[in-house]
Amino acid sequence: MDILAPAKINLTLRILGKRADGYHELESVMQMLTLADRLTITDAETLHFTCSDPALATAENLVVRAAKRLRLHSAIPRGAHIHLDKVIPTQAGLGGGSSDAAAALLALNEFWELRLPMEALAGMAAELGSDVPFFLDGPTAVVRGRGEYIAPVARAAECHVVLAKPATGLSTAEVYARLAAPPLPATGSAVVPATEAMVTALASGNPTAIARALINDMQSAAFALLPELDRLSERMLQQGCLAVLLCGSGSTLFGICPNERIARHAALDLTNDSPWTWAGPWMTAR
């Protein structure tokens, strides 16, 4: 059995405050890309995991943790060989590890014929990581809480993006620590206008409107940790991007492009400034 694990970008990311448990309450419009890892599952007596990147083939990998969590929940001592073909860069803010975990939950639920409902998978997903629940859903959704509340957004028009990642990655925990966000107000979080603006822009399908509605509250903290992001962002704008934003907690930047030709051209030209680039449309249906 084969399953794709798509990358994501955050079209908006507002940090509402720091919670008592140390996590940050956020509101984000998340969008899947056509860039994806691939998981292949075959029969095996025990649980066995391999990866195209040997450095990631450890018991700590979220794919292994997802498989073990699912096996524990269902109390079925089944085995499987899971191979992960890694395409999405790590420490990139593209949600690759989280997406792999969600794909493992979805695929093994079928492969082991567990027939667990989505709510059960969503509970396990939230335990595995803040971004994992989104990847059970998508391709476009408003995400709230620390990532566990998902409200799908009606079909968004296709849009072409270009990605560029510096050689250095960023740790999510480190960027969050840099935010120095105020404690979450006791009254709870206010309605976030950025979300509404983005949902309206997505409905218009106009790349310029989408570009105007982009916002990421983690960007200045990431730029402070990795100053070369400033120059890379400038280069992307020079290449014809309508706007450039940090992907999640970084270190990848994405640019909204007016069309496919400009996105492809930018990805080629940016190879001089960045060791990893990608161009393509975002995902409009799963």
User: So which residues are the catalytic ones?
Assistant: 8, 131
The angle that helices 62-74 and 118-128 make with each other, rounded to 10 degrees, is 140
Residue nearest to ligand C5P (CB): 130
| Closer of 24 and 71 to ligand C5P (Cβ) | 24
In sequence order, the 6+-apart residues with CB closer than 8 A to the CB of 191 are: none
Of 33-41, 169-177, 207-215, 269-277: span binding ligand C5P (CB under 6 A): 169-177
Of 45-53, 106-114, 129-137, 215-223: span binding ligand C5P (CB under 6 A): 129-137
| Contact call for residue 95 and ligand C5P (CB under 6 A) | no
Helix (H, G, I), strand (E, B) or coil at 236: helix
Distance from C-alpha of 218 to C-alpha of 10, rounded to nearest angstrom: 11
| Contact call for residue 147 and ligand C5P (CB under 6 A) | yes
Q: Write down the least CB distance from residue 281 to ligand C5P, Å.
A: 27
Closest to 49 in 3D by CA, of 22, 86, 7, 24? 86
H or E segment and range at residue 105: helix 96-111
| Contact call for residue 173 and ligand C5P (CB under 6 A) | yes
| Contact call for residue 135 and ligand C5P (CB under 6 A) | no
Binder to ligand C5P among 12, 28, 109, 130 (CB under 6 A)? Answer: 130
| Contact call for residue 146 and ligand C5P (CB under 6 A) | yes
| Contact call for residue 276 and ligand C5P (CB under 6 A) | no
Q: Write down the least CB distance from residue 131 to ligand C5P, Å.
A: 6
Binder to ligand C5P among 129, 133, 139, 248 (CB under 6 A)? Answer: 129
| Closer of 207 and 248 to ligand C5P (Cβ) | 248
List strand residue ranges (DSSP E) for the chain, in order. Answer: 2-18, 24-42, 47-51, 80-85, 140-145, 149-152, 160-165, 215-216, 243-246, 253-257, 276-281
Q: Write down the least CB distance from residue 21 to ligand C5P, Å.
A: 9
Helix (H, G, I), strand (E, B) or coil at 255: strand
Left if phi > 0, otherwise alpha if psi is -120 to 50, otherwise beta: which for 232? Answer: alpha
Of 22-30, 43-51, 134-142, 194-202: span binding ligand C5P (CB under 6 A): 22-30
Largest CA distance in the chain: 55
Distance from C-alpha of 6 to C-alpha of 23, rounded to nearest angstrom: 25
Tokens of 246: 């940090």
Of 19-27, 70-78, 220-228, 262-270: span binding ligand C5P (CB under 6 A): 19-27
| Positions in the binding site for ligand C5P (CB under 6 A) | 23-24, 26, 129-131, 146-147, 172-173, 176
